[in-house]
Amino acid sequence: MSGAVVSTAQGKLSGALTEGVAVFRGVPYAAPPVGALRWAPPAPPAAWAGMRDATKDGPAPPQLPSRLERVMGRVDFANGQGEDCLTLTIGAPWPAGAGKRPVLVFFHGGAWMSGAGSLSLYNSAALARGGDVVVVGVNYRLGALGYLHVPELANAGSGANYGLLDHVEALRWVRDNIAAFGGDPGNVTLFGQSAGGGSIATLMEMPDAVKLFRRAILQSAAVMPHQKREAARRVTDEVLKALGLDRARVAALRDVPVAKLLDAQRAAMMAVAKPTDPTPVYRMVHDGKVLTTDPPAGVAAGTAKGIDVMIGTTRDEVHAFFIGNDAIASIDRAGMAKALAPAAGAAAKADAEAVVDAYAKRLPGAAPPALFAALQTDAMFRLPSLRFAEAQARHARAWLYRFDWQPTRDAPYGAAHCIELPFVFGNFADWDAAPVPPTMLKGGDRAAMQRLSQQMIGAWAAFARSGDPNHAGIPKWEPWSRAKRHSLLFDAQTRAATGVDDEIEGIWR
């Protein structure tokens, strides 16, 4: 291992160089959001003198344990947690060259409440090397610190969406500095999984944000309506209540120690959340200033005109949330209809009951938990992704995929939420400590898994380079349209398909 040096607008950085890829860690893109900057829009980072060591991660955003620990494992952050968390991890083929490589900016998942772009689970060295691209992982504010609705606070901007504003600030930093790492600031592609994909869908609704990137990849994206201000206020009131505060003393929030704030965040979740509904409690707020539309209304109207998208899901998304959930294990048809009523077009009880009946006919003999998992996979992930693709396809190319791979026929989680990540990053070894994916991954054919990973790295890199994911290692992949309805199914035998979602769309429309 040796060093790599770059000069940014704030000062010089020294990163680690291994096998032709330089990695720079803990790179600040905004000032620490502490004191008066807690629940305030991000401010520019300070400059530094001399050489800054960029071989170690900065603190991860403060957070509670992830609800997907049983899938991804308990995370031990290399440099702990802390509010001084607005940093980047940058992986770049080295030497940097003339600043013309495509740039992939990654927004991690975790329901806007957990995770970090600096996690080893998102180690980007293989993706950077195999795709000849620059990869940027972003840490952003999470949970109450990122998404509490606090318009009463001084200098709080719109009073919401601070984690989202961090995304935008990170993209500004990339625009201004990524050429030093060999990246082309005019050819930036966003890619994000789960909540990260949902953030990208939202960024595509923001006229100022879309100026900062050229393409977008949404993996298992949490595309959903933003919280209404009334619902967000209830969450804030529950946080205040847990802290012994009220609206008249909201300014005291900026002085609450992080540990107590996380305890209050948990208490509010317990008060508001429902066990059969995995919708995040802390998420973007329709504040009328930062956010004025809900996806996909903005893209349908053309806010992201010309931005090609690649969007897809795993086949069995919600198995990761539902296995081991007692409320799901005992659910019946009436409970499914009740839980489903607000979802994807099923606005009335009668509509929800009709959807449940249709799925029961589609999946004869399925146990209630399996039936509900199929319903919610489509309601929460597949259908919103289809609708987003359809909206954006009016203004650019849209490429649809589904990730179907699972190691064995009886793997309990199937092709669950998160399972495609080690294939995209090409970093199976970094997942060996996670309880479920390694159980799945180690049960598979490693040579076949590597081939599938190479297919996906090639597609992600080709898309970032030109807006077309086709390359020699995959079947011909056609853009999606309402008329032709093409998809690519990533599996042990990756194949192109047409009309994959016709049946489920017929149920929900």
pLDDT higher than 70, residue 72 = no
pLDDT bin (cut points 50, 70, 90) of residue 413 is confident
Which residues lie closer than 8 Å to 259 by C-beta, 6 or more apart? none
pLDDT higher than 90, residue 366 = no
Largest CA distance in the chain: 68
One-letter amino acid of 172: R
CA distances from 11 to 8, 23, 269, 461, 482 (A): 5, 17, 41, 29, 49
Q: What values do phi and psi take at 402, rounded to 5?
A: -135, 140
pLDDT bin (cut points 50, 70, 90) of residue 3 is confident
pLDDT higher than 80, residue 433 = no
Give the pLDDT mean for 155-181: 97
Q: Which residues of 15-38 are buried (b: 16+ CB within 10 A; e: fewer)?
A: bbbeeebbbbbbbbbbbbbeeebb
Rounded to an integer, what distance in angstroms lies between the CA atom of residue 25 and that of residue 59? 11
Which ranges of 60-134 does DSSP label H, i.e. alpha helix? 69-72, 125-131
Tell me which of 50 and 3 has the higher pLDDT. 50
Decide: residue 347, CB within 10 A, 0-12 exposed, 13-18 middle, 19+ buried. exposed
**Which residues carry out catalysis?**
194, 317, 417
pLDDT bin (cut points 50, 70, 90) of residue 440 is low
Give the pLDDT mean for 215-220: 98
Identify the pLDDT of residue 74: 66
Give the pLDDT mean for 14-33: 97
Rounded to an integer, what distance in angstroms lies between the CA atom of residue 171 and that of residue 178? 10
Please say whether the beta carbons of 301 and 185 come within 8 A: no
Give the pLDDT mean for 19-30: 97
Give residue limits of the domains in the chain.
2-51+103-327+370-508
Q: What values do phi and psi take at 278, rounded to 5?
A: -80, 5
| Two tokens, residue 186 | 């005019």
pLDDT higher than 60, residue 439 = no
Tell me which of 3 and 320 has the higher pLDDT. 3
Domain topology for 2-51+103-327+370-508: Rossmann fold (3.40.50)
Which of 124-138, 258-272, 280-294, 343-357 is predicted least confidently?
343-357
What's the 3-state SS for 456-506?
Answer: HHHHHHHHHHHCCCCCCCCCCCCCCCCCCCEEEEECCCCEEEECCCHHHHH
Give the pLDDT mean for 105-122: 95
pLDDT higher than 90, residue 338 = no
Identify the pLDDT of residue 207: 95
What letter would DSSP give residue 257? -
Count Cβ atoms below 10 Å from residue 356 Cβ, excluding itself: 25
Identify the pLDDT of residue 331: 86
pLDDT bin (cut points 50, 70, 90) of residue 370 is confident
pLDDT bin (cut points 50, 70, 90) of residue 322 is confident
Residue count of the chain, please give it.
Answer: 509
Residue for token pair 């017929």 = 506
Q: Which of 275, 266, 278 is nearest to 241 (CA)?
A: 266
User: The whole model's pTM is what?
Assistant: 0.95
pLDDT bin (cut points 50, 70, 90) of residue 347 is very low
pLDDT higher than 50, residue 179 = yes
Identify the pLDDT of residue 324: 64
- Residue 91, SS3 per DSSP: strand
pLDDT higher than 60, residue 345 = no
Rounded to an integer, what distance in angstroms lies between the CA atom of residue 75 and that of residue 62? 13
pLDDT higher than 70, residue 202 = yes
| Two tokens, residue 4 | 């790599």
Q: Which of 455, 164, 418 is nearest to 283 (CA)?
A: 164
